[in-house]
Structure 1
Amino acid sequence: MLRFEPVPFRVDDDADYDAVILTSANALRAVDLAASPLLRLPLFAVGAHTADAARAAGFDKVIVAKGDAVSLRDLVLARVEAGELPASATLLYLAGADLSRDLAGELGERGLSVVTHTTYRMAPVAGFPREVSDAFMANRITAVLHYSRRSAQAFLDTIRADGIEISALALPQCCISAAVAAVLHDAGATKVVVAARPDENALLEALSRALRPRPE
């Protein structure tokens, strides 16, 4: 529903950062950090998937939050309170163009300096390929996974434009959070399942629940 598009970003090796924060693994996809001094900094990742991407990029001091921006904010602040980060630390936030929460602002209110660099955007796809629309109509799709409010809204816009809204919304809609689920509920979906935690493993567990046969 959304297409990844990199945004040009040049690593400033002379900048003096104390740590890096990430709310999406996508933020690293367009950045070449080979031999960058940033790799020596602690990196705060929003969840396990993002942490894995950070380690694959070369970071070895990865601190993992519980899968959402609130827990990431609280994790950073806890490290400040523990004396593991300076109270006036400067953080590099590698982010997407569309942010659901003002994490930089919230950390800034607590005395931290956050430098946000946009490294990617997610652009809406104009429509489904014909074979996907046909699969919805022929009941060959069993469920839909939703990772964000924005992608859920893009899904709704597309199924309406393609004339497959009834068929598509009749399927189980598995959502990574209650906020995402609200978009589907408001659109009239009745089989909405919410992940127990805002991460991909929990979303796949929700999918398993949604597809489990109901007892007779």
Structure 2
Amino acid sequence: MNLLIIRPQPGNDASAKRAREAGFKVTQFPFFKVRACPWSAPDPARYDALLITSANAIRHAGPQLDMLRHLPVHSVGVRSGDQARQAGLGVQSEGTADAAQALQAAADAGHHRLLWLAGEDHQHLAPPPDMIVDQRVVYASVPLEPDSAMAEAVLRSDVIALHSARAAQRLAALVEQWQYPRTAITIACFSQAISDAAGPGWRAVVIAERPEDSALLSAVQCLATVSDEANIRDAH
């Protein structure tokens, strides 16, 4: 099974390595390039914790992050938590679902004044009524210009891995631009929210039980098993 990975670097290489180790044939074609955004760190005394929803926030926060190192981190997933630790931050909680879970973990820890280091394109948060979440945009994912090689990579893939809502929306727009039928394309999504962003009409959609590559690959493997069994039944 040929798995197409379109997330930006360096996550693309990391996901591709895990997929190959799991036995997949992998095509790598980033649809985005991540760049740092200029920002100013606010007075850290105003906050009691950091909210991190992407490892890219840590990678691209720059020297301003030094002012915030004493604040505990609530991360959405394992990768963002690992990146925070590598940068010398203390991780208070590490989620397995979404930002809502991270906000609940912060509330459970008694943290009610959070600073969220976010991407330019980000989801809407609904914190508890007694929680303040201030946001600073520290990075942006810039779409790469589509070309024939990108279109061919989509056409030749068996499954396309979607790690973000932005990637799902970009894929949907390009498929329409190239006039490819969605019914010919299978997508594997990191979360239900990403599946929702991709919209309906795909040949098949699989959703990871948690936002980790291991869970995503397991979901794709289950799909492959079901497809193989169906082919065997058809042959008989």
Normalised TM-score (structure 2): 0.73
Per-residue CA deviations over 1:30-85 (Å, capped at 9, x if unaligned) read 122488242222111111111011111111344212230111111011111xxxx4
Q: 2:148 aligns with which of 130, 135, 138?
A: 130
Of residues 75, 96, 102 in structure 2, which corresponds to 1:45?
A: 75
Describe the shift of the 1:136–1:124 C-alpha distance in structure 2 as closer, same or farther (beyond 3 A). closer
Q: Please give the per-residue CA displacement for 1:152-189, whole angstroms capped at 9, x wherever unaligned.
A: 111111122234x13x6523210122232234452x21
C-alpha displacement of 1:144: 0.0
Answer yes or no: is the 8 Å Cα contact 1:19–1:90 preserved in 2.
Answer: yes
Residue ranges of structure 2 left out of the alignment (5+ in a row): 1-30
Does the 8 Å CA contact 1:126/1:158 hold for their aligned counterparts?
no
Which structure is higher in helix share?
2
> Is 1:206 paired with 2:189?
no
- Structure 1 vs Structure 2: percent identity of aligned residues? 26
- TM-score normalised by L of structure 1: 0.79
State how far apart, in whole Å, the 1-side matches of 2:139 and 2:215 are: 25
Are the structure 2 counterparts of residues 190 and 26 from structure 1 closer, same or farther at C-alpha, using a change threshold of 3 Å? Answer: same
| Matching of residues 4-23 of structure 1 within 5 Å | 4-12=34-42, 15-16=44-45, 17-23=47-53
- Residue 120 (1) aligns with residue 150 (2): no
**Aligned residue among 157, 179, 202 for 1:189:** 202
State how far apart, in whole Å, the 1-side matches of 2:51 and 2:154 are. 39
CA distance in 1 between counterparts of 2:49 and 2:153 reads 46
> Of residues 147, 151, 169 in structure 2, which corresponds to 1:153?
169
- 1:69-80 maps to which residues of 2 (within 5 A)? 69-80=99-110
Q: What corresponds to 1:90 in structure 2? A: 113
Secondary structure class of the residue paired with 2:54: coil
1:174 match? 188
Is the contact between residue 94 and residue 119 of structure 1 (CA under 8 Å) also seen in structure 2? Answer: yes
Query: CA RMSD, aligned part only?
Result: 2.4
Tell me the secondary structure at the aligned position of residue 109 of structure 2.
helix
Q: Which runs of 5+ in 1 are unaligned?
A: none
Contact 1:149 1:183 in 2 (8 A): yes
Counterparts of 1:8 and 1:35, CA distance in 2: 12
Distance of aligned partners of 1:170 and 1:183 in 2 relative to their CA distance in 1, 3 Å threshold: farther
